[in-house]
Amino acid sequence: MQKPLIKDGIVVNIIEIGEHTLCVSKAEHKELEAQEMARYAADLVAWRNECQMHAKSIEEAKAGRFMAIGIVKAAKDAAKDSRIDPKHTLDRILMLDSEVEAWEEKLSRLKALGLPPKPQIQRAKRWILPEGHEVGPEGGQIGDIWDGKTYVKPVLEPRKPKEQSDK
C-alpha cells in the first residue's frame, strides 16, 4: 500500500508499506528490538534446557543398558559356575535380556529424535520513520500540503515568459 511521507505539512515522498509492516520511530524500533531480543534469550534458555534434558535421558538410557548387560553377564557366569538353580536361570536370563533390549530400544529412539531445532529471532516487519516525518493517509501526492484533515494541491503561480533581448 502506498502512503505519503509528510514533513512540515508537505508530502515529500510516497512510500510502499506492506500490510503487516509497522511504521515506527527510532525509539519505538529500539524498544521493539529489545523485546525481541529478550524473547529470543528466553527461547535460547528453554532450548538449552531441552538439549540438556535430551542428553541426560540418553546418558540414563546408556547407564541402564550398561547395568542390565552387567547383570545378564553375572547371571550367565553364575549359571556356568552352578551358583544359580538351573530351573530359574533361563527365565532370569531371558527376562534380563529383554530389559537390555528395552534399554537399547529407548536409546535408539532418543538418538533418532535428535536435538530440538535452535530458535531463531522473530522480528516484526517495520519501517523506521526519518526524524521529523510522519506517514499520512492514502491519497496525497508529492508536493501536496497536508492540513491535518485533507491534502490540498499547492497553488502555483504561472511562470512569466523570459524576455528576449534584441541583439
Together in a domain, 85 and 33: yes
Helix (H) or strand (E) holding 12: strand 10-16
Q: Has residue 135 been placed in a domain?
A: yes
Hey, is 145 helix, strand or coil? Answer: strand
Mean pLDDT of 98-124: 87
Q: Angle at Cα 108 formed by Cα 49 and Cα 44, nearest 5°? A: 15
Together in a domain, 82 and 138: no
- Separation of alpha carbons 45 and 38, rounded Å: 11
Amino acid letter for position 129: L
> Which structural domain, as residue segments, surrounds residue 17?
1-21+129-157
Q: How confident is the model at residue 139 (pLDDT cuts 50, 70, 90)?
A: confident
For the segment 30-55, what is each residue's pLDDT rounded down to a tens digit? 999 999 999 999 999 999 999 999 99
Instruction: Tell me how far apart the terminal alpha carbons of the chain are, to the nearest angstrom.
Output: 55
Q: Angle at Cα 96 formed by Cα 95 and Cα 97, nearest 5°? A: 90
Together in a domain, 117 and 140: no
For the segment 83-105, what is each residue's pLDDT rounded down to a tens digit? 766 667 777 777 888 888 888 99
- Separation of alpha carbons 116 and 50, rounded Å: 7
